[in-house]
Amino acid sequence: MEKFERQANEEALARRAKRKPSPKKNELTVVSMYCKGCGLCVDICPTGTLQLEDNIEGKFGVSVKVDAQEFCIGCKMCEQRCPDFAIFVNYEEEEKDKQ
Ligand code: SF4
Ligand code: SF4
């Protein structure tokens, strides 16, 4: 990973350190083949739930991972910020509710 990617991870961990796990369980889904590891979701996540990681098998070399799902508050900022539709929040639960 590049320096700015490691820095994004460190800043996310610092935000997480100030939080407690969320009382509500939220499900995060990353579509790895769409994720280009830009880090926009890592930067915007208020709870430090996400981290970047090396992904040597992927096209872009870096991708996002859900590092601490229990901290996710389901705000969907990551989903809204992702330019590539590569991360979804509570997708299955909401699809079931529509049926
Ligand atoms: S999930 Fe989207 S915003 Fe997050 S690193 Fe991947 S492409 Fe970027
Ligand atoms: S829904 Fe909110 S808290 Fe959960 S990973 Fe996305 S930005 Fe972070």
* Per-domain residue ranges of the chain: 3-94
Within the chain, which residues score under 70 in pLDDT? none
- Does residue 74's CB lie within 6 angstroms of at least one atom of ligand 2? yes
- Does residue 86's CB lie within 6 angstroms of at least one atom of ligand 1? yes
Q: What pLDDT shows up at residue 40?
A: 98
Index of the ligand 1 atom closest to the CA of residue 62: 5
**Predicted TM-score (pTM) of this structure:** 0.94
Q: What pLDDT shows up at residue 58?
A: 82
CATH number of 3-94: 3.30.70.20
Three-class secondary structure assignment of 53-90 = EEECCCCCEEEEEECCHHHCCCCCHHHHHCCCCCEEEC
- Does residue 8's CB lie within 6 angstroms of at least one atom of ligand 1? no
Kindly identify the ligand whose nearest atom is closest to the C-alpha of 48: 2
Q: What pLDDT shows up at residue 6?
A: 97
